[in-house]
Amino acid sequence: MPKFSETSKARLAKCDARLQEIFYAVVTKADCSILEGHRNEQKQRMMLMQGRTKLAWPNSKHNRVPSLAVDVAPYPIIWDERERFIYFAGFVKGIAAAKGIGLRWGGDWDMDNSLKDNRFDDLVHFELIES
C-alpha cells in the first residue's frame, strides 16, 4: 500500500484539515507526493516571477495558514505525461466528492469539465472551494 514520505507528511500538515483528510484517503489507493502546501511571501513572489502562478502575495490559497491549497503529483512524477495528472485529478475529485468536500483542480479552473478551455494549467494544484 502506498504511503507518504516524511517530507510529504510535513508539507500536508501545513494544510487545512479537509485537504489532509482527502489526501490521506487518496494515498491509500494511489501513490502521490505532496509538493507544496503553505507558501510564504518570498516563495509566492518567486513563483509569480517564474510564471508558475498568476497570483501575487497574499492572494493565493497557498498563502493562508493553514493552507487552503496543495500541490500534489502522482508518483513517480513524470512531468510530460499529462494524462496521468488528469487521471489522478479525477480520482482525487472523486474522493473529495465522496467526503462532501468541495475541491477545485488547476486543470479545470471553471469546473465545467472541459479540460481545453484553461488559459493557465496547474495540473498539480488542488484548492478548497470556500462556500
pLDDT digits (tens, 9 = 90+) for 83-113: 999 999 999 999 999 999 999 999 999 999 9
Determine the Cα–Cα distance for residues 32 and 50; give it in Å rounded to an integer: 24
pTM: 0.96
Q: Is residue 1 part of a domain?
A: no
Q: Structural domain of residue 41, as residue ranges?
A: 6-128
| Torsions phi, psi for 109 (to 5 deg) | -55, -40
pLDDT digits (tens, 9 = 90+) for 39-69: 999 999 999 999 999 999 999 999 999 999 9
How many domains does the chain contain in total? 1
What is the average pLDDT score of the chain? 97
Do 107 and 115 form a contact (C-beta atoms < 8 A)? yes
Q: Looking at residue 129, what DSSP letter applies?
A: P
Assign residue 25 the CATH number of its domain.
Answer: 3.30.1380.10
Cell 501545513 sits on residue: 14
**pLDDT at residue 8, as a whole number:** 98
